[in-house]
A and B are shown apart, each in its own frame.
Chain A
Amino acid sequence: MRLLSQWLNDGHMQQRGTGQAQAPNQPPAADQGGSAAIEVVDLVKVYKTTRAVDDISFRIARGSITGLLGGNGAGKTTTIAMIMGLVLPTSGRVSVLGAKIPEQRYDVLGRMNFESPYVDMPMRLTVRQNLTIFGRLYAVKQLRERIDQLATDLDLTEFLDRSNGKLSAGQKTRVALAKALINEPDLLLLDEPTASLDPDTADWVRQHLETYRKTHNATILLASHNMLEVERLCDRVIIMKRGKIQDDDSPERIMARYNRDTLEEVFLDVARGRLREGAP
């Protein structure tokens, strides 16, 4: 039975329980209640000798948009991958929508989705074929109608029967977003959602994400290098550097604390080691 359970659940023994972890010290903009969409406690990831993520803790409120900021190698992608269960933590705990990750990830994977520049949709398949396959994987009801709806929302109707490989970068991003929204997820994890997009398409994608959050009360966690994007979209920003959380608050309060007008200036301060006001 143990072996069968492992076969069914990619090597993790399935555990039952609420998956609620004890709340760490919370920053003011963080979720204070017991209904966090994501809860990360004392999370550490070590690759050989590199501490990619170094003892971080945070809770993310349902219905919020949180930005994970940081330079290259700050640990953003590793953190998101651990939240998704695609990378195993060295130590610490993650729970998502009340399920322990990775042990109970199959309980909630159908309610999550993600988009990342590290993955592609199959190029030879048409947009409609790709969305059909992912719709079936996510057991989407009335799939044909859902695909038509997404095509209308994301302006993809004229490309539905074109293969993914023949689309422009902007069109591919919208298809990836359609895939990420196919199951109307409660939690959306986005890694650089507007990377390599022209300003117009990027703005359009941001608008769509904002609308989706409002209409579905969805939680969005996005990793980004684009400070304007984070400023515009996020209720809260977590700034990471060398695997640690450097700051965690609303964009406005962070900018005020660093006495800066933009998050980009704050980002440069953090990256270059300039201390914030009042820091010891």
Chain B
Amino acid sequence: MSEIVSHHAHGISLQRINAMVLRYWYLLMSSWPRLLELIYWPALQIITWGFLQNYISQASGFFARAGGTLIGAVILWDILFRGQLGFSISFLEEMWARNLGNLMMSPLKPIEFLLSLMIMSLIRLAIGVIPMTLLALFFFGFNFYAIGLPLIAFFCNLIFTSWSVGVFASGLVLRNGLGAESIVWTLMFAVMPLACVYYPVEVLPAWLQYVAWALPPTYVFEGMRSLLIDHTLRADLMAWALVINAILFAASFAVFLALLQSAKRNGSLLAGGE
């Protein structure tokens, strides 16, 4: 017997992605504390670290010469961290709302769901980080956008890493329920010391440097220091970061799908609790 297949059953549907972005947009606009939180922490970060940079610059000739290294690192770290949070919090909203079953039962495909979370991470990032960069300019005279074209390479590499970590963390929550929620908030901090956000890779013991160079953000932070201190653009670092990001991105998707399948075997999709 032949069956009529649903419209838009095959391929990726922009309409469904759009619907999910609209869902998160409605949520964001319905709650001023959610909006405020997006701006509050980045603003607090930049002001604290900015004054610290001012203080150190007065005491150290090196930091006076390497103007903005610390502030630049704070902003780039926030792109990495808030990018992941922006992705993961939108995902957690579905768990908190017990809405995941409705979505999984709808024609929405996992890839469309993940793409909508990526778009939301960009929107949430823009709301948090743009005011942060303006504060850096206003209080400390650091023009983040003066980095110019290399900023695009920095941003793309950091956002891809943040999405990979976000996809992986979301898969863990999907499989293990909200008991695994703390992973979402803390996973990126495990990357922080190894990605050499505030210091060069040479500071690490030799064996740990191999681990550091396996992480794409390390290349970005090294690249930023090279640009701000030596005024040299290291395209090779950006290219390596992109290659590793591509591998991480594909791996995170594969792990997410494996965890989704495991959740279906385990019956945890409808449970969703702890």
Contacts and interface: CB of A to CB of B under 8 A. Distances in A.
Interface of A: 3, 6-11, 18-20, 34-35, 45, 47, 52, 77-78, 81, 84-88, 97-99, 102, 106-114, 116, 118-125, 129, 132-134, 136-139, 163, 179
Given A47-B266, A119-B102, A125-B23, A10 B109 contact: yes
Nearest to B268: A87
7 contacts: A8-B109, A18-B1, A106-B109, A111-B6, A133-B26, A137-B16, A137-B103
B5 interface: yes
- Complex A-B, nearest 8 residue pairs according to Cβ-Cβ distance, in ascending order: A110-B6, A136-B19, A98-B3, A119-B101, A11-B257, A120-B98, A137-B106, A122-B97
Interface in B220-274: 250, 253-254, 257-258, 260-261, 264-267, 269-272
Interface band, chain B: 35 or more
Contacts of A114: 105
B104 A86 contact: yes
A77 B97 contact: no
Contacts of A124: 26-27, 30-31
Contacts of A78: 267
A157 B174 CA distance: 35
Contacts of B1: 18, 20, 34-35, 98
A6 B8 CA distance: 17
Given A18-B2, A78-B267, A86-B270, 8 more contacts: A11-B260, A88-B261, A99-B3, A102-B264, A107-B5, A122-B99, A125-B23, A137-B106
Contact of B271 (A102, A110, A113, A118): A118
B106 A109 contact: yes
Interface string B44-65: 0000000000000000000000
Contact of B18 (A77, A129, A136, A179): A136
A179 B109 contact: no
Given A86-B104, A133-B23, A139 B5 contact: no
Given A7-B257, A99-B3, A122-B97, A110 B31 contact: no
A98 B31 CA distance: 44
Contacts of B93: 122
Contact of B15 (A35, A81, A122, A139): A139
Contacts of B100: 119
B150 interface: no
B143 interface: no
Contacts of A118: 98, 101, 270-272
A137 B105 contact: no
Given A87-B269, A99-B3, A120 B97 contact: yes
A133 to B, nearest CB: 5
A87 B267 CA distance: 5
A133 B23 CA distance: 6
B130 interface: no
Name which of A84, A121, A137 has the most chain B CB atoms within 10 A of its CB.
A137
Nearest to A179: B102
Nearest to B114: A7
B253 A119 contact: no
A3 to B, nearest CB: 8
Nearest to A47: B267
Contact of A81 (B2, B11, B270, B272): B270
B101 to A, nearest CB: 4
A133 B26 CA distance: 10
B50 to A, nearest CB: 35
B105 A163 contact: no
Contacts of B8: 110, 139
A46 to B, nearest CB: 10
A87 B107 CA distance: 16
Nearest to A125: B26
Contacts of A98: 1-3
B108 interface: yes
A233 B187 CA distance: 51
B211 to A, nearest CB: 27
A122 B100 CA distance: 10
A120 B15 CA distance: 23
Given A106-B107, A139-B107, A134 B22 contact: no
A129 to B, nearest CB: 5
Name which of B19, B27, B97, B106 has the most chain A CB atoms within 10 A of its CB.
B106
